Amino acid sequence: MRTIGLEEHFVTEELAGYGAGTATIAEPHVWAEMSRRLLDLTGARLERMDAAGLDVQVLSLNSPGLQAEPDAALAVSRAAAVNDLLAGTIQAHPTRFAGFAALPLQDPQAAAKELERSVTQLGLRGALVNAHTQGRYLDDPALRVVWEYAAGLDVPLYLHPANGVDAAHVLSGHPELIGPMWSWGTDTAAHVLRLVFGGVFDDFPEAKLLLGHMGEALPFVLWRLDSRWDFHAHHGIELARGNPSEYLRHNLYITTSGVCSAAPLLCSLLALGSDHILFGTDYPFEEMDVATEFLRTAPISEADRAKIAHGNAERLLRLS
């Protein structure tokens, strides 16, 4: 069975410094190994793919990527360069790699144009966004132009976590909870809800959002979101689709990246349906062979397994 992974990270020597904040979260020896793997685009990566039975990786620049760059002009030039590099890597290995563009969201107009160039000229399949950009989230009115281009090109934006602008007070004194252990997931789920209540999907009803880590727990709270929306003051916000869950079932697609557990997969299938779940490994932060073995042995139907493994990715990203 063909297997396509959608959350597969890399970095370049020039851009590795942007990950310094993430480096402080990990054990030093673990980060050293992760860094070595991130920099390896086609050597041991391909060997691991072969050993794990992973046919295609959809590559994306590691978090926080160019969004950590304070200089907008430098972000624009570096985005173009790394997207060119990514396209060249795919061209050299067209049956093994596809890619998501990095966007210089510091300059929304330039980001929209870079998305267009990356898709129409370089053959990339959308873009991956690492949380906020200098404190600006994807519901910001200035970034509507990026959504306009993404919807017009019919490509998804993949929302990936990164360190937040600040840390919630409840985490004070517990640095172990900051990062992928906990805070990244809650921050990213909140970011998605900003898109719903900020009207992004009302403005662009067919926009497609990808979210990793089995949906950052959002599939498990759909009923409560709707129930509490009936209870809460709306503060002048009305949703064209009525309930928040309608947007998550319509506009949201999730990947299994970083969650190799049957219980959340089964819940996600019930909550979102098999057409909205895709495969990912979260390499190099998780092992490819663990992820592919989970997919092969998960207690789901063979039809759903095929959709998750490759069918949905082929449809959503137009991968032959």
Which are the catalytic amino acids? 282
Strands 97-99 vs 127-130: parallel, antiparallel or unpaired: unpaired
End-to-end CA distance of the chain: 14
Bridge partners for 254 per DSSP: 211, 277
How far apart, in Å, are the Cα atoms of 231 and each of 190, 193, 227, 268? 19, 17, 7, 25
Query: b/e per residue, 281-296, with b = 16+ CB within 10 A?
Result: bbbbbbebeebbebbe
At residue 61, the 3 state secondary structure works out as strand
CA atoms of 183 and 30, how far apart (whole Å): 20
Q: Where are the alpha helices (DSSP H) in the chain?
A: 20-23, 28-39, 44-52, 72-92, 108-120, 144-153, 183-197, 200-203, 222-231, 244-250, 262-272, 288-297, 302-306, 312-317
